[in-house]
Amino acid sequence: MSSASPTELRKAFSSFATGVTVITGIGNNSQAVGVTISSFNTVSLDPPLVLWSLSERSVLMDAFAVGKKQLIHVLERSQEDIAMRFAKSTSDQFAGVDLVTTPSGLAMLPDCVAYFECETIAAHPGGDHRIIVARIVNMQHHEARDPLVFSRSQFMGLRLPERAPIE
């Protein structure tokens, strides 16, 4: 094994298929903000914790600081356009999107596979990213919807077969 360049490393990482999320929060100006993230992962069932990472250079870092709320949207297989919209940091990310505002004031995108309303409980340095650990305070999921997957720099839908529920 040899050390790889950042480009080679990114290419190798892309062979790991991952789900696609958009995470919304509230920015410093009390406006909705959002970002596409594929680094989402479960941490613990009790207490219910998840983690995800955000570039240290992101202008959204304060929106997801310790104590801040966020809504993690697991995207549905037809929502590539939403993933691409929130992958770019622009002032009009929410333009033309049918939003619902949650009771806690977070922007909720329609028709996702799952939603996790969270509060950041820790943020750890992780190289050029910050690892956000968040406690789930509310959630919902829609088993009939199929998730969007990202691998080798491409989106793909994942159609799940009908199966018995996991106990």
- What mean pLDDT is predicted for residues 21-30? 93
pLDDT band at 160 (very low <50, low <70, confident <90, very high): low
pLDDT at 112: 96
Q: Could you give the CA distance from residue 154 to residue 76 in angstroms, rounded to a whole number? A: 15
* Mean pLDDT of the chain, nearest integer: 87
Q: How confident is the model at residue 4 (pLDDT cuts 50, 70, 90)?
A: confident
Q: How many residues does the chain have?
A: 167
Which tokens sit at 101? 């505002």
Nearest to 32 by CA among 82, 95, 88, 79: 95
Q: What is the pLDDT of residue 8?
A: 82
Give the separation between CA 47 and CA 13, rounded to whole angstroms: 29
Span 78-87, average pLDDT: 92
Q: Name which residue leads in pLDDT, 58 or 160.
A: 58
Reported as a single tens digit per residue, the pLDDT across 128-155 is: 999 999 999 999 999 889 888 876 666 6
Quick check: 10 pLDDT over 90? no
Does the pLDDT of residue 52 top 80, yes or no? yes
H helix or E strand, kind and range, residue 86:
helix 80-87
| DSSP calls for 96-161 | T---EE-TTS-EE-SS-SEEEEEEEEEEEEETTEEEEEEEEEEEEE-TTSPBEEEETTEEEE-PPP
Please give the average per-residue pLDDT across 79-101, as a whole number. 88
pTM, full prediction: 0.86
The residue assigned the tokens 């529920």 is 165
Residue-wise DSSP of 25-48: EE-TTS-EEEEEES--EEEETTTT
- Helix or strand or coil: residue 83? helix
What's the pLDDT tens digit per position in 103-135? 999 999 999 999 999 999 999 999 999 999 999
pLDDT at 162: 62
pLDDT at 142: 93
> What is the CATH architecture assignment of 16-153?
Roll (2.30)
Residue 29 pLDDT greater than 60, yes or no: yes
